[in-house]
Amino acid sequence: MIYFDNSATTVPYPEALRTYQEVATKIFGNPSSLHQLGTSATRILEASRKQVAELIGKSADEIFFTSGGTEGDNWVIKGVAFEKEPYGNHIIVSDIEHPAVKESAKWLSEHGFEVSYAPVNEQGFVDVEALAGLLRPDTILVSVMAVNNEIGSIQPIQAISDLLVNEPTISFHVDAVQAIGKIPVSSYLTDRVDFATFSGHKFHAVRGVGFVYKKAGKKITPLLTGGGQEKDFRSTTENVAGIASMAKALRLVTDKEEFSLPKIAKMKKIIFDELAKYEDISIFSGEGEGFAPNILTFGIKGVRGEVIVHAFEEHQIYISTTSACSSKAGKPAGTLISMGVPTKLAQTAVRISLDDDNDMGQVEQFLTIFKQVYAKTQKVR
C-alpha cells in the first residue's frame, strides 16, 4: 500500500498514539476537577500548551486548543467579526481559502457583514496589489492561508504583513493547517499576524484536536460558552489525551524538518520531472521555490480526476482529487477555477501529497503504475 494523500490526513506517529493511550488511561481526570486526577490532567494540559508554544516560537498564553482547523477557522473569522463589529463590518478573504474560511465568511455576509475576495494570479498566488485595493476604512479582518491545500502555492504572507503594518485596526488571520511541518514557521507567523489556525491530524497527531494562536492582547468573541475553559474562550472539557498527542507529534515533526523536507522535495521533483515529459498532462503545482515541497497536482487532459484516483486505488495507491472537501462534494478544485483554469480541465485534477513516511521505492512504484494507468486512458479517450 502506498499512501500519497497526506494533505487530507496523516498516519498518527506511533509515539503520538502511545502518548494518547497513556494519558487517556492513566491521567483521565477532568482538568476542572480539584482532586489529584484533575490537577494531574491540568499539568499535562499546560505542559502541552507550553511545548506547542515553544515549537512555534510563541508564548503559552497565546495558545488555545480546539477540535481542529475547521473549528479554529470558524472561531477566528466569526469571533473577530463579532468582536470588532462596532468598528466596521468589512472582511477580506482570499479567493482560494479552505471552505472553513470561505463558508464562515459567507455566513457572516448573510448576517450583516460585507465580504470581499482577494483574487489570485494564474499560478495561484494572492495578488497583493489587488488585496490592497480592497482595503477600506471599515475593514476589520483579512484572512489568507499560508499554503494552499489544493496546489501547494505558498502565499505571500510577509508581503501582506508589510501591507498591513500601518493598519493596526485590521486583524490578520492565517490558516496554517497545510503549512506546519512543510515550510518554516517564521515565513507565515510574522509579527503582524494576529491569529493562526492549526490542525493536529495534518502532522501525525490523532484527529479531533488542533490549536489557535492568538496574539497577546488581541480580542475575540468566543463561540462556545459554558464552563469557562481555555480562559473563557472555548468552554468544553479539554481533550487532554489528544492535546498531549498533538504536542508530541509537533515535537517529532519539527525535529525531523531539517532532514525530511529535502527528502520530500526530492521525491516531488522526481515525479514532477517525469510528468512534465507528457504533452497532454497539465501540471498545476509548481516545483521548487514558491510551492510547498509535498503537494503536486496534475491532470491528464480529457480524463476526469476521479477516474485516475480509482485506477490507482486498484493498485493500492491512494491519491485524491485535490482537497478532501472538494472530492466528497464532487466539485472541481476551487483554486484552479480561481486561477482561470477552464472547468473541464480543472475536473481532471488529482493531487499527490507526500510525507516523510514515503520513500523513493514508493515513488518508483508510483511512476511504474502511472505508466500503466496513462496507457489505459489513451485507449478509452
Catalytic (active-site) positions: 325
CA distances from 151 to 38, 123, 140, 360 (A): 44, 9, 28, 22
Q: What are phi and psi of 90, to 5 degrees?
A: -110, 130
DSSP line for 232-288? TTB-S---HHHHHHHHHHHHHHHHHHHHHHHHHHHHHHHHHHHHTT-TTEEE-S--S
Buried b (16+ CB within 10 A) or exposed e, 49-65: bebbbbbbebeeebbbb
Q: Which residue, 373, 366, 377, 371, is CA-closest to 311?
A: 373
Q: At what angle do helices 240-275 and 14-26 cross, to 10 degrees?
A: 170
CA distances from 78 to 71, 81, 105, 170, 219 (A): 10, 5, 8, 14, 12
User: How far is residue 49's CA from residue 53's CA, in Å, rounded to a whole number?
Assistant: 6
